[in-house]
């Protein structure tokens, strides 16, 4: 896909913008990852990461980015014995995960609408 986009989109001053917009639009249909508390799910197959083909997977980034990453860091640290356990019930953790998922989906939707607007304007003003 990247090679095709590179060859097709030309080398004018707008080629990079076209490539970014189209790459974003092509990746839209991919399923978005969701946060969940493993303690509330009985089906361990839901912990599987499809692309990496690993049975148990957790994802986090720097805890300065998202609250969900702070929670994951704390839980992982506690599970490794590096800190005391978090004093939250699994249902409360799941409630936090649900809230983070809702905010992430709302943010993604705004990003998509912004990209749609940009693309519409771009197509309108470019021949």
pLDDT digit string, tens, across residues 65-75: 788 888 888 88
The predicted pLDDT at position 78 comes to 92
pLDDT beyond 90 at 121: no
127 pLDDT band, cuts 50/70/90, is low
Residue 27 and residue 36 in contact, taking contact as beta carbons nearer than 8 Å: no
pLDDT beyond 90 at 53: no
Residue 99 CB neighbour total at 10 angstroms: 13
Judgement on whether residues 47 and 101 belong to the same structural domain of the protein: yes
Judgement on whether residues 76 and 104 belong to the same structural domain of the protein: yes
Task: Report CA dihedral (79, 61, 27, 10) to the nearest 10 degrees.
Answer: -150
Range of the domain at 95: 34-125
Q: Looking at the DSSP assignment, which residues form a beta bridge with residue 51?
A: none
Count structural domains, the chain.
2
Judgement on whether residues 66 and 85 belong to the same structural domain of the protein: yes
The predicted pLDDT at position 65 comes to 75
Judgement on whether residues 95 and 60 belong to the same structural domain of the protein: yes
pLDDT beyond 70 at 62: yes
Judgement on whether residues 53 and 15 belong to the same structural domain of the protein: no
**What is the share, in percent, of the chain residues with pLDDT greater than 70?**
92
Judgement on whether residues 38 and 16 belong to the same structural domain of the protein: no
The predicted pLDDT at position 30 comes to 64
Judgement on whether residues 19 and 58 belong to the same structural domain of the protein: no
Reduced DSSP (H G I as helix, E B as strand, rest coil) percent helix, strand, coil of the chain, to 5 = 60, 0, 40
Q: How far apart are CA 117 and CA 111, in angstroms?
A: 10
């Amino acid at each position: 896909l990247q090679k095709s986009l590179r060859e097709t989109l030309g080398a004018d001053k707008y080629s990079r913008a076209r490539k970014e917009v189209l790459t974003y639009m092509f990746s839209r249909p991919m399923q978005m990852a969701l946060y969940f508390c493993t303690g509330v799910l009985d089906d361990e197959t839901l912990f599987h990461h499809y692309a990496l083909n690993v049975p148990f997977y957790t994802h986090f980034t720097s805890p300065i980015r998202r609250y969900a990453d702070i929670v994951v860091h704390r839980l992982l640290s506690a599970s490794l014995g590096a800190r005391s356990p978090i004093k939250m019930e699994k249902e409360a953790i799941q409630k936090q995960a649900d809230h983070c998922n809702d905010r992430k989906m709302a943010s993604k939707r705004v990003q998509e609408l912004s990209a749609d607007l940009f693309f519409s304007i771009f197509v309108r003003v470019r021949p």
